[in-house]
Amino acid sequence: MEYRCVATSVEGFVQQVAVQYLRHGYWFYVAGVVPPRKEPREVDEKLLAKYGVAVSQKERCRRKRAGLANVQYIRHGRFFVIMATHGEHRFFGDEVTQIRDARRVPIRVEGYALSFRSGRACVRIEQGEYRRLRAYLLDLACRRRTEALAGEFSGVGLVPYAPVRQQLLSIWRAVNRERKAAGYERVAIECVPWRRRIVRPFEVVGGLDVFI
């Protein structure tokens, strides 16, 4: 059966991991990067075969009832993640020193931190990226016109999942406190990205699969 595993955008990668995998119990993971000397598609094929990833939904249900783990694999560019549910599987033996639990250690990719908290998948701005973004915008708080600052918020380029939106609002409030203290006009809340656009993680462009 066809198993699509190459996300054609960071947004698609994040959406697939959070909404389809973490949400459905794929909490144990190994993250890696395809070495420069290797062809990504060959690595895909090797890992899909090694861990028997490309199985039907019916087979996944059968394995779950039998107490066996299921595995998913996804890649964007050269970054990939192998994810597994609870249960028995060779993945846990082969990758024992590399496995992390997304309930404790977030998957970090392109400025995002993906985890599973309080019974739900959580997409946040990764802490290092958050501190960098906060410092950058606070540095501009009293040095840029209101319209320019609004443009900075609008163009952060991060998908506004609820936790991401809350982090951006925290920065927005801090910026406005700086501006108020200096006697400047506040930046309108409308500049903070609010709606998340649903994407097709494995989007087909012009009738051809896009392989990255």
**Percent of the chain scored above 70 by pLDDT?**
95
**Is the per-residue pLDDT at 206 higher than 70?**
no
Give the integer Cα–Cα distance in Å for 132 and 198: 27
Four-point Cα dihedral 14, 131, 122, 18, nearest 10: 10
Element containing residue 157 per DSSP (H, E): none
Question: Residue 81 in 3-state DSSP?
Answer: strand
pLDDT at 205: 52
Which amino acid is located at 154 in the chain? Answer: S
Give pLDDT tens digits for 86-112.
999 999 999 999 999 999 999 999 999
What's the pLDDT at 146? 97
**Per-residue pLDDT tens for 122-165?**
999 999 999 999 999 999 999 999 999 999 999 999 999 999 99
Band of residue 208 on the pLDDT scale cut at 50, 70, 90: very low
Across 35-53, average pLDDT: 96
- CA 201 to CA 15: how far, in whole Å? 7
The pTM assigned to this predicted structure is 0.92
**Per-residue pLDDT, 210:** 37
Please say if the pLDDT value at position 209 is more than 70. Answer: no
Calpha distance 51→63 (Å, rounded): 13
Q: Output the CA torsion sign for 162, 123, 176, 154.
A: negative
* DSSP H or E stretch at residue 86: none
Percent of the chain with pLDDT over 90: 94
Confidence of residue 211 (pLDDT cuts 50, 70, 90): very low
* Residue 160 exposure: Cα atoms within 13 Å on the Cβ side: 15
pLDDT of 46 > 90? The answer is: yes
